[in-house]
């Protein structure tokens, strides 16, 4: 059985509008809006479920595989 | 996820729009939707309003999400560019000041009260049933008609982009959101 690589959400900080839609749907509260400027992901907590990526109205979040 | 009291603010937004249909003077209450976000960003340096309290965003989230009225496609890149967001903010400002100017003209007695709601800055919708005359100056009503036009126009734009793109696409180019983010950036730069 192949092992799935761990993935985590990455925000394009320059394009983020800081609406907070991502934080609302994160099941583990791993993403928050920092100082009303941009969303910031806590890499340790992120489980890579992709809910924030689907929700983001600006589509500036993508899941990236984490290097071991 | 546990629901908080502010998750029901979509009711306030819908009530606001409904009240303006019956009595245009309720449109004045919409100033709260302008001042609260600005105060939160200026005082606390956060987009707390967008993040938690925006009833309009919640309406789009519900209609586009739970009710499935959104294609849930990516917004075009140009619509999330700074050029478009800041350009739309400036355009919105110009239109807002034009509305204030019209209000001033009615207050000054130069222009008569126009009992219409202007949709998308172009289409004049009859709205005379929502104004029955009051002891107040007609200028008070003119501002209400103008402000309600702003609110209805932005709701319609938000609904269109909700259907075409993701539910809360309006948040990408919402002038209040852009403005509060700019305030937060300015504050952060200072501190």
**CB pair distance less than 8 Å for A17 and B178:** yes
Quick count: other Cβ atoms within 10 Å of Cβ B182? 16
Q: What is the pLDDT of residue B191?
A: 47
User: Which of A15, A26, A58 best probes binding to B when mutated, by most B CB atoms within 10 angstroms?
Assistant: A58
Query: Within a 13 Å sphere around the CA of B37, how many CA atoms are in the beta-carbon half?
Result: 25
Q: What is the pLDDT of residue B135?
A: 85
Range of the domain at B40: 5-190
Q: How many domains does chain B have?
A: 1
| Interior/surface letters A26-54, b for 16+ CB within 10 angstroms, e for the rest | beeebbebbbbbbbbbeeeebebbebbbe
Q: What ipTM describes this predicted complex? A: 0.91
d(CA B117, nearest CA chain A) in Å? 29
Nearest beta carbon to residue A17 from set B52, B61, B181: B181
d(CA A66, nearest CA chain B) in Å? 24
How far apart CA B21 and CA B75 sit, in angstroms, is: 31
* Mean pLDDT estimate for chain A: 93
**CB pair distance less than 8 Å for A18 and B1:** no
Which residue segments constitute the domains of chain A, with CATH numbers given? 7-65 (3.30.70.20)
Report residue A1's pLDDT band, with 50, 70 and 90 as the boundaries: low
Give A58's contacts in chain B (Cβ within 8 Å): 75, 80, 171-172
Q: What is the pLDDT of residue A3?
A: 67
Per-residue pLDDT of chain B (191 residues; tens, 9 = 90+): 789 999 999 999 999 999 999 999 999 999 999 999 999 999 999 999 999 999 999 999 999 999 999 999 999 999 999 999 999 999 999 999 999 999 999 999 999 999 999 999 999 999 999 998 878 999 999 999 999 999 999 999 999 999 999 999 999 999 999 999 999 999 998 54
Please tell me which residue of chain B has the smallest CA distance to A26: B1
Residue of A1 and B109 predicted with greater confidence: B109
């Amino acid at each position: 059985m192949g092992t799935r690589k761990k993935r985590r959400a990455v925000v394009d900080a320059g394009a983020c509008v800081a609406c907070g839609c991502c934080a609302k749907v994160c099941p583990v509260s791993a993403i928050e809006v920092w100082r009303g400027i941009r969303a910031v992901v806590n890499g340790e907590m992120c489980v890579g479920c992709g809910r924030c990526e689907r929700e983001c109205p600006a589509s500036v979040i993508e899941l990236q595989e984490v290097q071991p | 996820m546990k629901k908080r009291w502010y998750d029901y603010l979509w009711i306030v937004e819908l009530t606001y729009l409904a009240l303006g249909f019956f009595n245009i003077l309720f449109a004045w209450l919409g100033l709260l939707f302008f001042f609260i976000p600005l105060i939160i960003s200026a005082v606390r340096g956060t987009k707390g309003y967008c993040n938690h309290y925006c009833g309009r965003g919640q309406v789009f989230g519900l209609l586009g999400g739970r009710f499935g009225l959104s294609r849930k496609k990516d917004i075009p890149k140009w619509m999330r560019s700074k050029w478009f967001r800041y350009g739309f903010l400036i355009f919105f400002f110009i239109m807002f000041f034009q509305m204030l100017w019209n209000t001033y003209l009615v207050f000054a007695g130069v222009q008569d009260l126009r009992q219409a709601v202007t949709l998308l800055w172009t289409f004049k919708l009859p709205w005379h049933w929502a104004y029955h005359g009051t002891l107040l100056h007609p200028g008070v009503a003119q501002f209400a008609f103008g402000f309600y036009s702003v609110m209805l126009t932005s709701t319609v734009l938000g609904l269109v982009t909700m259907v075409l793109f993701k539910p809360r696409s309006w948040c990408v180019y919402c002038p209040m959101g852009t403005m509060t983010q700019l305030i937060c950036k300015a504050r952060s730069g200072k501190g």
